[in-house]
Structure 1
Amino acid sequence: MKGIWVVNLRKVKPLIFICVTAFFVASWLVFQQNYISVFSTPAGPQAFYKADDADNKLALTFNISWGEKNVTPILNVLKDHHVEHATFFLSASWAETYPELVEEIVDAGYQIGSHGYQYKNYPSLSDTEVTQDMQRSKQVLQELTGETPTLIRPPNGAFNTNTLQLAEAQNLDVIHWSVNSYDYENPGTDKIVSNVVNETQSGDILMFHASDSVKQTESALPIILKTLEQRDYSFATISEMMSDTDATSEEVE
């Protein structure tokens, strides 16, 4: 019995080592390729993507960087379903082109966040370029809305620790998401609905788009809102979600 145990253990040890090594290598590659977007240290900035204890509250967010066709229909859906709180992250170059749509969002009572100006991935830019982009976006959005944005969702959701520190220097909170509708892939109404309702839990930040590139968000959104309402979820501002909880975080290298 003892001899059999020793032989088996020797065979298992290399396999365990290989598995553990593969796991850490895979994790490192994910961090490098996707700029894992949640960072927290006791003294450093962090990106907010989910509330730990939100009492069945959710945050509804939309990114806009192109086109004019979807904004009004989506606002009408939110109005029809009595959604009082949502955040629209606007590319400031888009906002300059469509100031009347920016005004429509503001008049509906929704929060405006920055989605950058150039719509270029921040980790590919120098610190100076990122800072200039953030500043220009803040200035444009402030001029159009009368309020300086305090939230930013970097273009394509791509950022690293430098981005977080630069955002903090601009008094901007970086907002990511915990539930991705994948509406930008135009996978069909049913798929967008399942992407959201099958994954949503209390405290989640839901991410949609209102650019012209999305073709099925308007049809999926009423089903999603009705389903979440039936599950006793309500929508809160991101600021409310952040004030009620500590962000769940992982480190970005």
Structure 2
Amino acid sequence: MAERKSRLWVTVFVAVGMIMLLQYQPIHEYISFVKKEQTVTAEKILDEKERLRAQVEKWKAERDEAPIDAVIDPTWKAIPGYNGRIVDVDASVEKMLATGVAGPEMLVYKEVPPAISLDQLGAQPIYRGNPKKPTISFMINVAWGNEYLDSMLDTLDKHQVKTTFFLDGSWVKRYPEEAKKIAERGHEIGNHAYSHPDMSTLGTQRIHQEISRTQEIISKTLGIKPILFAPPSGAFNKQVVQIAHSSYQMKTIMWTADTVDWKKPSPSFVIKKISGLMSNGTLVLMHPTAASQASLDQLLTIAKKKGLQPVTVSEVLSSRRLP
């Protein structure tokens, strides 16, 4: 009888200890205790997995985010959507049990795409990314300015940034090695028409010619088929956007913030102007000029300090969430 009473008191003692742990100790300490305590019954007083699940469900309620549909804005035209996220409760619990560590940083997420994507909006110009996605792109239109290219490429490498270069077709034909240099550094290549015309004044045949000749020379020189089109000087009309979309499966890209570097402003002017316009989804227009070359390093630094990740235009437009 005494021995049975003794065993009963041991069981009660363990139970009380477990309950105290559950009430006052962090989950990861509880998991560690359970793994070391070999005498605890299969039920482990309060099931470890269910306790974890309850906590994960609380975190889930705080951290789930609904997706955002792509929309046509009266000012900014087509704005891409942004994936939502939900906590995968089962995967999160299993991960915590396997590692012995429990906390919000161990949650496993699933992305949820929006019901309406950018592609579903049809032929629309694009001026910016989704205002919830913390990205920015310093896109560079190239039709001249070879003397500044190497320095700008080196600055991008220094910051480990890949961006988008929109190349004029006739420039690629004249300077194929320069074009290859850009592509070999891992940057995205876009189409900037062939002869830098005012696209809004052209007839159908000439619009096709400007886009198709550039596609052909870029494909021949770099083995790349661009999916983005930037009209020279930002001049376009509905027909230009429609042809780029339907005939070449290309999105027409404009900009959110313009350095106006072709006017030869001072680097300090460019830095002050653009830093004040930086926000989620901003597309910054640059050219290989002295002003942009001299301001790029500081602009990349400022963007990162603002919590913005400098990326390609395609990444800004993607609904994918950043890691």
TM superposition score category, shorter chain reference: 0.7 to 0.9
Contact in 2 for aligned 1:183/1:216 (Cα 8 Å)? yes
Q: Specify which of 163, 178, 187 is matched with residue 86 of structure 1.
A: 163
Structure number with greater Rg is 2
Counterpart-to-counterpart distance in 1, 2:78 and 2:318: 17
Is residue 71 from structure 1 mapped to residue 137 from structure 2 by the alignment? no
Q: How does 1:1-253 map to 2 (within 5 A)?
A: 38=77, 44-83=122-161, 85-168=162-245, 169-210=247-288, 214-244=289-319
Change (3 A) 1:197 1:125: same
Cα root mean square deviation, aligned = 2.0
Deviation per residue, 1:43-68 (Å, 9 max, x gap): 64111111124431112200111242
Unaligned runs of 5+ in 2: 1-74, 80-117
User: 1:236: Cα distance to partner?
Assistant: 2.5
TM score, norm. by length of structure 2: 0.60
Map of 1:13 onto structure 2? none
User: 1:186: Cα distance to partner?
Assistant: 1.2
User: 1:147: Cα distance to partner?
Assistant: 1.2
Unaligned runs of 5+ in 1: 1-35, 246-253
Contact in 2 for aligned 1:37/1:160 (Cα 8 Å)? no
User: 1:243: Cα distance to partner?
Assistant: 2.6
User: 1:170: Cα distance to partner?
Assistant: 1.6
Counterpart-to-counterpart distance in 2, 1:146 and 1:37: 32
Counterpart-to-counterpart distance in 1, 2:163 and 2:282: 13
Deviation per residue, 1:190-229 (Å, 9 max, x gap): 001011101111111111101xxx2221111111111111
Change (3 A) 1:240 1:216: closer
TM score, norm. by length of structure 1: 0.76
Change (3 A) 1:162 1:37: farther
Deviation per residue, 1:130-171 (Å, 9 max, x gap): 111111110001111101111110111100101111111221
Change (3 A) 1:39 1:55: closer
Q: Which has the higher contact order (CA 8 A, sep 6+)?
A: 1
Counterpart-to-counterpart distance in 2, 1:242 and 1:218: 25
Deviation per residue, 1:47-92 (Å, 9 max, x gap): 1111124431112200111242111111011111221x20000101
